[in-house]
Structure 1
Amino acid sequence: MRKLNLLTATATALTLAACGAMTSAPSGPSAFAMLSPTTGNATTGQVRFAPSGGDKVVVSGEVRGLKPNAEHGFHVHEKGDCSSGDGMSAGGHFNPAGAPHGRHGGARHHAGDLPSLKADAAGVARFRFESRSIGIGGGPADIVGKGLIVHRDPDDYTTQPTGNAGPRLACAVIARG
């Protein structure tokens, strides 16, 4: 009988822990992007967008084929179109509020202005950051169906409207997932 009570108590504790983990997990839709190189480039990657309580979105991923030990502009663009070889079919930066270009997290910036990627010595950028500028699954800042671009150069955060980040190395369409 004592073993049965111990097993029942253990099963109950595991069930409650699982329920607690399920209720504390982020709710709402997530999104992803599979970056493909533009013509003449080798940059690829995967990016995940996940809700993180309230109005935050966690952006995480890995991008390969970058210039080693360099920064690269990283932006959500207005069109989910990667059909042109140079990535220009994705349009300009996603900017539903009509704000000036600026630093992600700064007082004023495009919704699509994300932090520059920092490649390691092997040309790989691994990243994870939170954004309050973008949304998933509704509202004016919804990024689903928009383009995601990795640029050759770092974003200077001041040149209007692009940040002077140079040519587009990779492009993706952000999809729900």
Structure 2
Amino acid sequence: MMKKQINGMLLICAVAALTFGCSQSKEKSEEKVDSATETAEESLESVIVDLESKSDSQLKGTVIFKELANGKINIDVNLMNIEPGDHAVHIHAIGDCSAPDGTSAGGHWNPMGVDHGNRAEGGDFHQGDIGNLTVGEDGNGSLSMDVEGWTIGGDENTNILNHAVIVHAGPDDFTSQPAGAAGPRIGCGVISLK
């Protein structure tokens, strides 16, 4: 009788140990999945660009580029201290903002050698064509969009690094060649990993 009770207790203990072990193994497995997800999210790259005022403007602002899980790049532009109205924003070919009028940044980033156009409407457009940002009466404006075909550190046709973000005094008309007749460059910032 005593032997049966001991065997029964051993069986109960063995089942309990297996159940507890399986439960802990499942928890550890879930922890690994959560950890992998967090690591993937953390590994997405982002670049913050501080804009310098150009052409005697008082512009202040930042541009943030962020990799998204879907492979696109989000661009978030925030400007202050500029004239109300529409202002063109482009990526220019050269990562150099040393000229007082921003001309050291060269022309639009256009690795495919196509005509200037309107990204929002499709068709031909430069890789650096972004669009117009509307500034309110308070002198502030913002623009956010997700862009397919850009990378942070990819090949030369998609890599936004080592180019410059330019803000213009006027709007892009999306038709004038080669750059949309947007007027003087009033802000410039180099896209680089710090």
Give the TM-score of the pair, scaled to structure 2: 0.77
Of the three residues 187, 190, 194, the one matched with 1:170 is: 187
What is the aligned partner in structure 1 of residue 95 from structure 2?
80
Q: In structure 2, how many angstroms separate the alpha carbons of the residues matched to 1:20 and 1:121?
A: 46
Q: Higher helix proportion, which one?
A: 2
Counterpart mapping for 1:10-159 below 5 A: 19=35, 22=38, 25=41, 27-68=43-84, 70-105=85-120, 106-139=122-155, 140-159=157-176
Q: Which residue type is aligned with residue 160 of structure 1?
A: Q
Structure 2 residue matching 1:116: 3-state secondary structure: strand
Q: Which residue type is aligned with residue 107 of structure 1?
A: G
Determine which structure has more spread, i.e. the larger CA radius of gyration: 2
Moved more, 117-126 or 18-27: 18-27
Structure 1 residues 26 and 104: CA distance shift in structure 2, 3 A: farther
Q: Which residue type is aligned with residue 56 of structure 1?
A: K
Q: In structure 2, how many angstroms separate the alpha carbons of the residues matched to 1:42 and 1:74?
A: 16
Q: In structure 1, how many angstroms separate the alpha carbons of the residues matched to 2:169 and 2:49?
A: 18
Q: Runs of 5+ in structure 2 lacking a partner?
A: 1-23
CA-to-aligned-CA distance 1:100-143 (integer Å, 9 cap, x gap): 10112422100000021111221111221111142211212211
Matched, 1:161 2:178: yes
Q: Which residue type is aligned with residue 112 of structure 2?
A: A
Report how many aligned residue pairs link the two structures.
Answer: 168
Contact 1:26–1:52 (8 Å) recurs in 2: no
Q: Runs of 5+ in structure 1 lacking a partner?
A: 1-8
What is the Cα deviation at residue 50 of structure 1? 0.7
What is the Cα deviation at residue 17 of structure 1? 9.0
- Higher relative contact order by CA 8 Å / sep ≥ 6: 1 or 2? 1
CA-to-aligned-CA distance 1:82-116 (integer Å, 9 cap, x gap): 11110001000000111110112422100000021
* CA-atom RMSD in angstroms: 2.5
